[in-house]
Structures are given as C-alpha cells and as structure tokens.
Chains A and B, each alone.
Chain A
Amino acid sequence: KAGVTQTPRYLIKTRGQQVTLSCSPISGHRSVSWYQQTPGQGLQFLFEYFSETQRNKGNFPGRFSGRQFSNSRSEMNVSTLELGDSALYLCASSTDVYNEQFFGPGTRLTVL
C-alpha cells in the first residue's frame, strides 16, 4: 500500500504571495491532519479534516486554510506569506479508528 504523498516537495515563494500544498493520504484513510515544523516552535498542529469537514483547528491565523476532497485528498493554502511561514509542512493520515497517524515526507516551504 502506498504511503502518504505530498506535493510539491520543495517550494520557494516571496513575501505576500500565496501557496497551495497537496496531500494524498493512504488509500482508505479518511482523516488528514496538517502540521507545521520549524526549528523554533517545533511541530505544531494546523488542522484536521475528516470526510471533507474540518474537525479540529490549531492556533494559527486565518491565512492558513485547508480543504479535503471527496477522495480524501487534502490541500492547505497559505495566503499573504510571511518570512516566518518558512517551514516543513507535514501531512498525516489515519483511519480514524485507533488514531495512529502516518506521515508524509513533507513540503519544505521557503519564503524570501
């Protein structure tokens, strides 16, 4: 069974731009969560989607948004990029049974 895939793997943007990251969960997984990883703040929860509905949200500004499609694929969007948004963005999927989350390789976003 294929793992969680994230595209693109690397992105370079400039301040003020917006970006969309994509995540394809493991087949059969209906829950997708997003995390931001930075050297200073560590791993922080962004939001979680299940069956196209956002169930949980972390403490991030409204510039961070996401959605989930009927095939469970998910996208997250960051608008009006700031330098501090430079991070590794990780996506994780689960079956929502025992809450074991499987992580993708991440998208490395650099904001210049």
Chain B
Amino acid sequence: AQSVTQPDIHITVSEGASLELRCNYSYGATPYLFWYVQSPGQGLQLLLKYFSGDTLVQGIKGFEAEFKRSQSSFNLRKPSVHWSDAAEYFCAGEQGGSEKLVFGKGTKLTVNP
C-alpha cells in the first residue's frame, strides 16, 4: 500500500539553527511529493512540490527539499529557522494523476528563542 512516513513526531530547534524534517515514501512508482505547513487552526499551505527533474526543490519561506530515489526520501530543510516557522509540517505523496494525497502523520516544530 502507498504510504508516507514522517519518523519525527516533534522537533525542537533554536531560532537561527538549521532544520531538517524527514520524510520517507513507499510507492510502486515515484510519486509526486509535497510538503505542506499548517499553523494552529488553519488549513494547509503548500511549501514546495516535486514532480520530476531536478532533485533539489526550492519552495517558499526559504525552504528546500531534496528527493533521493535510492533512499525513498524527500527531506525538508531550512538553513536558519525563524520563530514564525513554528507549526506542523506534513509530507504528502500522490500517485501521478490520482488527485489523492497520502499524508504522513506530521512533524510538529517548536522554535525556542
């Protein structure tokens, strides 16, 4: 079955520190991959997406993600975290054309001053 796994439920970093959120996928073929962010009481905002091509994807708010086929991973990174980045982050996969996103359980990010 198609699945997306986020191994870290909660991560705490200090403001200004670098960040890496992990995401692994299990699909028969390479899926479309996405990272979304959700602030409390809000919907989901798309940070970045990977469909094909360049494996390093740039997104909004200074985020980037790297697709690694050999590791079935799509980790999200940011070189310097800001307090406003505190939120919950979701990795999602979609078998091309299905319009059905499969989400990981999410990683809650806390940023210490």
User: Across the interface, do B102 and A100 meet the contact criterion of CB distance under 8 Å?
Assistant: no
Q: Give complex CA distance A105, B32 in Å.
A: 23
What is the minimal beta-carbon distance from B98 to any residue of chain A, in angstroms?
6
Q: Give complex CA distance A77, B14 in Å.
A: 44
Q: Which residues of A have CB within 8 Å of B105?
A: 42
Contact-size category for A = 20 to 34
Type the 1/0 row for A69-86, where 1 means its CB is closer than 8 Å to any CB of B.
Answer: 000000000000000000
Total A-B contacts with CB atoms under 8 angstroms apart = 58
Q: Which residues of A have CB within 8 Å of B32?
A: 99
For the complex, count residues of B whose C-beta is within 8 A of A: 24
User: Across the interface, do B43 and A106 meet the contact criterion of CB distance under 8 Å?
Assistant: yes
User: Across the interface, do B42 and A94 meet the contact criterion of CB distance under 8 Å?
Assistant: no
User: Across the interface, do B96 and A99 meet the contact criterion of CB distance under 8 Å?
Assistant: yes
Selected from A45, A98, A102, the residue in CB contact (under 8 A) with B100 is A45
Q: Give complex CA distance A90, B102 in Å.
A: 14
User: Across the interface, do A90 and B103 meet the contact criterion of CB distance under 8 Å?
Assistant: no
Type the 1/0 row for B42-64, where 1 means its CB is closer than 8 Å to any CB of A.
Answer: 11111001010000000000000
- Also in contact, A101 and B101, with CB within 8 A (given A90-B43, A90-B44): yes
Q: Which residues of A have CB within 8 Å of B98?
A: 56
User: Across the interface, do B49 and A103 meet the contact criterion of CB distance under 8 Å?
Assistant: no
Q: Give complex CA distance A92, B70 in Å.
A: 31
Instruction: Count chain A CB atoms within 10 A of each CB in B36, B42, B43, B98 and give the residue with the most.
Output: B43
- Also in contact, A102 and B46, with CB within 8 A (given A42-B103, A42-B105, A43-B90): yes
Q: 3 tightest CB-CB pairs across the interface, nearest first?
A: A43-B103, A103-B43, A103-B44
Report which A residues bind B (CB closer than 8 A).
4, 31, 33, 35, 42-45, 48, 50, 55-56, 58, 90, 92, 94, 96, 98-106
